[in-house]
């Protein structure tokens, strides 16, 4: 009887363990998956419109029930908070381009001033082998790249004067993101540089804590910087890829079928977001002019010349990746 009882207990334990551990990554396929998607920009910015597109595509095509919850306007914190949340698994998906270089130094090559000739050049680099190479080690930091969306070419605004050459930046206190290359570049151009979280920027401009800032037209327009900035100078100095990241722990919990659905939705939303920005840049510019901003062209060659020391400064760190990017046709 004792042997029979022992056999019955052992069989019961095997059955329970099999029931608990028999499902694939992603857990119970009947259970709804909830993905928290965060970014720092306004609800009418293309980031958010594309996040809504991602939600629409994924929820319609996923192999199991999934709900995407979108948090815009720094509701989940700064870009650094979002990235650290991804690492901790408290955030599932985020757009956090301003801080990714701190977690994957190779990614910083994309931040070099005037590294891309135009949008098409950027897309070929990011969507090709170079883009994959730059992102391959992110899982070691508990992050994974889904796709490169777009922030756009960045331009300088300020409340003091038009900026035509780098010399015009001397003495101007300008905010840049927490990004070493951005800081080094504007210091080399003579600006008085300060870094702060994006969520603090509008108030800093209003209160004259800083004289100016630099961002793409979409951000300048959708965040109403024209209310605190008089001059917009079309420097186009940095191209901003917008890395859409997923928490590695979240990714590993998804079934292969769900992973495929998430990837497809991210890529479809990427194409949608890039097209939005390309189509709307002219409208953003006209909007800013109508709101009273004085817009001027700059001496691009002078800015490119002044950027050469920055490339030399980072030559050892990035090695042949700079040349690879330049050689992409």
219-231 per-position pLDDT tens digit:
999 999 999 999 9
145-176 pLDDT per residue, tens: 999 999 999 999 999 999 999 999 999 999 99
d(CA 93, CA 257): 18
* 5 in any annotated domain: no
- In the chain, the number of structural domains is 1
CA atoms within 13 A on the CB side of 314: 23
* 254 in any annotated domain: yes
Domain that holds residue 281: 32-315
Q: 89 — alpha (psi -120 to 50), left (phi > 0) or beta?
A: left
Q: Is residue 162 a contact partner of residue 233, using CB atoms and an 8 Å limit?
A: yes
Please report the pLDDT score of residue 142 as a whole number.
97
* 178 in any annotated domain: yes
Please report the pLDDT score of residue 9 as a whole number.
42
Can you read off the two tokens belonging to residue 131? 């883009």
* Strands (DSSP E) found in the chain: 33-38, 66-71, 93-95, 143-158, 173-176, 192-195, 212-216, 231-234, 239-247, 294-297
Please report the pLDDT score of residue 28 as a whole number.
59
CATH number of the CATH domain containing 203: 3.40.190.170
Smallest CA-to-CA distance from 111 within 124, 125, 101, 96 is with 101
* 202 in any annotated domain: yes
* 322 in any annotated domain: no
d(CA 154, CA 174): 13
- Please list the ranges in the chain whose pLDDT falls under 70: 1-29
Please report the pLDDT score of residue 25 as a whole number.
39
Report CA Rg, the chain: 23
**DSSP one-letter string for 60-119:** HH-SS-EEEEEE-TTTT--HHHHHHHHHHTS-SEEE-TTTGGGT-GGGGGGGSTT--SSH
Q: Is residue 214 a contact partner of residue 195, using CB atoms and an 8 Å limit?
A: no
Q: Is residue 204 a contact partner of residue 210, using CB atoms and an 8 Å limit?
A: yes
d(CA 24, CA 303): 54
* 17 in any annotated domain: no
* 320 in any annotated domain: no
Please report the pLDDT score of residue 10 as a whole number.
42
228-284 pLDDT per residue, tens: 999 999 999 999 999 999 999 999 999 999 999 999 999 999 999 999 999 999 999
Please report the pLDDT score of residue 29 as a whole number.
64
Q: Is residue 114 a contact partner of residue 304, using CB atoms and an 8 Å limit?
A: yes
β-pair type (212-216, 93-95)? unpaired
* 26 in any annotated domain: no
Q: Is residue 270 a contact partner of residue 50, using CB atoms and an 8 Å limit?
A: yes
């Amino acid at each position: 009887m004792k042997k029979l009882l022992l056999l019955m207990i052992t069989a019961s334990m095997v059955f329970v363990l099999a029931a608990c551990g028999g499902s694939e990554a992603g857990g119970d396929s009947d259970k709804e998956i909830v993905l928290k998607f965060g970014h720092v920009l306004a609800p009418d910015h293309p980031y958010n419109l594309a996040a809504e597109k991602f939600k629409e595509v994924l929820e319609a095509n996923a192999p199991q029930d999934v709900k995407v919850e979108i948090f815009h306007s720094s509701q989940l914190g700064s870009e650094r908070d979002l990235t650290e949340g991804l690492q901790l698994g408290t955030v599932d998906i985020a757009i956090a381009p301003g801080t990714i270089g701190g977690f994957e130094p190779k990614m910083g090559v994309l931040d070099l001033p005037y590294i891309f000739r135009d949008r098409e050049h950027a897309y070929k680099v990011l969507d090709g082998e170079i883009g994959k190479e730059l992102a391959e080690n992110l899982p070691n930091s508990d992050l994974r790249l889904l796709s490169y969306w777009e922030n756009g070419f960045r331009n300088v605004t300020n409340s003091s004067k038009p900026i035509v050459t780098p010399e015009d930046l001397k003495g101007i206190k300008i905010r840049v993101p927490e990004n070493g290359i951005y800081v080094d570049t504007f210091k080399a151009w003579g600006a008085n540089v300060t870094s702060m979280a994006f969520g603090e920027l509008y108030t800093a401009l209003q209160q004259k804590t800083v004289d100016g800032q630099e961002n793409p037209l979409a951000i300048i327009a959708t965040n109403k910087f024209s209310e605190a900035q008089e001059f917009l100078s079309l420097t186009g100095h940095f191209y901003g890829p917008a890395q859409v990241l997923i928490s590695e722990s979240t990714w590993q919990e998804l079934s292969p079928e769900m992973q495929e659905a998430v990837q497809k939705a991210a890529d479809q939303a990427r194409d949608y977001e890039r097209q939005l920005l390309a189509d709307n840049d002219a409208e953003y510019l006209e909007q800013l002019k109508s709101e009273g901003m004085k817009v001027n062209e700059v001496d691009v060659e002078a800015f490119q010349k002044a950027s050469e020391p920055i490339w030399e400064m980072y030559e050892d760190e990035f090695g042949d990746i700079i040349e690879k990017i330049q050689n992409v046709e």
